[in-house]
Structure 1
Amino acid sequence: MIKKRYFIQIAYDGSLYHGWQIQPNAITVQELLDKAMSTFYRQPIETLGCGRTDTGVHATGFYAHFDVENLEESKVLNAVAGINAMLPYQIAAKKIVPVSDDAHARFDAISRAYKYYIHFEKDPFKLNRSWLVKDKLDVDLMNQAAKLLLDYTDFSCFSKSNTQTFTNNCKITTAVFEEKENGLVFTIQADRFLRNMVRAIMGTLVRIGKHEINLEDFKTIIESKNRSNAGQSVPACGLYLVKVEYPYLR
């Protein structure tokens, strides 16, 4: 029995799903992907993702690993079209790559990047894909605050309570807002992220943009390590996992 490991990269619109990870009594991306791949490869396939995404969160560059037994590598790698034919339109396989037998989609990732989209005028084509904010925001001040994130490593104040992580330390390398037509895009990249971290950061930065708190307040919130001091989590609809990097994938 020969078993080989592969990575699959997928994109999905998370609007209809209860996040990535399989759970009882709810439809998830992982459940549908595993079913499609098991049917195509004619053997049980169980994927393990690079992380969790919550209900309503999207992804354009999500990775998962899986093992296949007794199949030629060419048949595994050329399966993208066949797997896509078995997936709902909201989920798309992008590529499959061979990796070593001990490669791990979650633990081997060296960086992840998210984008968060905001728009300022009602737009039916952005429903469930961007967050409508009706207030005027001070983008320059928000960028000043976002830059401060690079000076810290402990982000307990932005972490969901009662998680099973061994540390709340992360190294953020990029945090910046860009103005787009009738909207903003926030890009953040780090070696790892905590549960709900990006949405909590966004909720706090928006408070900065509304002049509800200032830069010194922002520093105090981070240094407090207390989630109750930070802003509310923003809606999931604007959040996208866009990139995951591995030392052996280019």
Structure 2
Amino acid sequence: MSKKRYFIQLAYDGSLYHGWQIQPNAITVQECLDKAMSIYFRQTIETLGCGRTDTGVHATEFFAHFDIEDVAEEWVLNAISGINALLPYQIAAKKIIAVADDAHARFDATARAYKYYIHFEKDPFKLNRSWLVKDKLDVVLMNEAAKELFNYQDFSCFSKSNTQTFTNNCTISKAIFEETEGGLVFTIKADRFLRNMVRAIMGTLIRVGKGEIDIEDFKKIIESKNRSKAGQSVAACGLYLVRVEYPYLG
């Protein structure tokens, strides 16, 4: 048998982890996944994720690819229960999918979507899973400002500095706040995202909602391409990666 490539679909609560990507002296989701899969398949498995979620960020849908040698495809595709038995409870393997040998979990993704959850009253059951905001927010005005994101492509003002990206251009196709019981959820979808981009956008839209800046100010911040002009990054606990789209996956 030759080497074969697969995608694995995951969901995880990021509260206990220092993000997705393996790093020294910190526990990450990728480290736990690679260890569990290496034990199960009895060979070294190294995954590559569809992106890099930060410390404390969650995912209800996340994909990674991996290569495996000399293992029957049927066994790989039916390995979910065995892998889950070796994973911490906060990480769940959902599905393994056979893909082309050149399929790439990161570079082949055509769109990603995130949700950010806010609640307005102290709730112990939302600890580490939603962000508590005590201020009254103008949701209508925040949604009007969010629509302005469709008119721009360079989002340097919402990106961490000194990142290894060739461009800060992104195309945002959805950005909307919706009311939930006792809170809000912000959904944003784009062809790609910059490091820390969603949390920085949220921090700036919250300033709009508080009346600290208006929509014209919001537009000027984007046009400035200056991170120091935008709002602070909001807490990681409310952020979820919820959708990753590929041309060859339904």
Which residue of structure 1 lines up, in the alignment, with residue 32 of structure 2?
Answer: 32
Match of 2:123 in 1: 123
Give how far 1:209 is off: 0.2
Matched, 1:198 2:198: yes
Unaligned runs of 5+ in 2: none
- How many pairs does the alignment contain? 250
1:182, CA displacement in angstroms?
0.3
RMSD, matched Cα: 0.5
Deviations 1:156-198 (A, max 9, x none): 0000000010000000000000000000000000000000000
CA displacement at 1:115 relative to structure 2: 0.2
Report 1:134-173 matches (<5 A). 134-173=134-173
Alpha-carbon deviations, 1:210-236, whole Å to 9, x = none? 000000000000000000000000000
**CA distance in 2: counterparts of 1:135 and 1:110, whole angstroms:** 36
User: After superposition, what is the alpha-carbon deviation per residue over 1:40-90, rounded to whole angstroms, capped at 9, x for unaligned?
Assistant: 111100000000000000001000000010111100000001000000000
Structure 2: distance between partners of 1:55 and 1:165: 20
Corresponding residue of 2:229: 229
* Partner Cα separation in structure 1 for residue 187 and residue 45 of structure 2: 33
Once the 2 structures are TM-superposed, how far is the Cα of residue 97 of structure 1 from its aligned partner? 0.3
Equivalent position of 1:14 in the other structure: 14
Give how far 1:154 is off. 0.3
C-alpha displacement of 1:7: 0.2
Quote the offset at 1:142 in angstroms.
Answer: 0.3
Report the equivalent of 1:247. Answer: 247
Partner of 2:76: 76
The answer to whether structure 1 residue 5 and structure 2 residue 23 are counterparts is no
Residue number in structure 2 paired with 1:213: 213
Q: Which residue of 2 aligns with 1:63?
A: 63
Find the residue that maps to 1:2 and give its secondary structure: coil
The AA in structure 2 aligned to 1:55 is T
- Alpha-carbon deviation of 1:131? 0.2
CA distance in 1, matches of 2:47, 2:34: 6
In the alignment, the residues of structure 2 paired with residue 41 and residue 139 of structure 1 have an alpha-carbon distance, to the nearest angstrom, of 50
SS at match of 2:63: strand
Separation in 1, partners of 2:23, 2:224: 34
Question: How many Å separate the matches in 2 of 1:164 and 1:93?
Answer: 29
What CA distance in whole angstroms lies between the structure 1 residues aligned with 2:56 and 2:164? 22
Q: State the 1:24 CA deviation.
A: 0.3
User: Which residue is 1:86 aligned to?
Assistant: 86
> Any runs of at least 4 consecutive aligned residues in structure 1 with deviations exceeding 3 A, and if so which?
none
Give the deviation of 1:14 after TM superposition. Answer: 0.3
Matched residue of 1:232: which SS?
coil
The Cα shift of 1:18 comes to 0.3
User: Aligned partners of 1:135 and 1:160: how far apart in 2?
Assistant: 26
Q: CA deviation at 1:144?
A: 0.3
Q: C-alpha separation between the residues in 2 aligned to 1:243 and 1:68?
A: 25
Superposed displacement of residue 102, structure 1:
0.4
The aligned amino acid for 1:34 is D
Instruction: Identify the residue that residue 47 of structure 2 maps to in structure 1.
Output: 47
Aligned partners of 1:82, 1:233: CA distance in 2, in Å?
Answer: 38
Residue 93 of structure 2 aligns to a residue whose secondary structure is strand
Shift of 1:153: 0.3
Question: For residues 63 and 151 of structure 1, what CA distance do their matches in structure 2 show?
Answer: 29
Displacement of 1:143: 0.3
Q: Work out whether 1:175 is the aligned partner of 2:165.
A: no
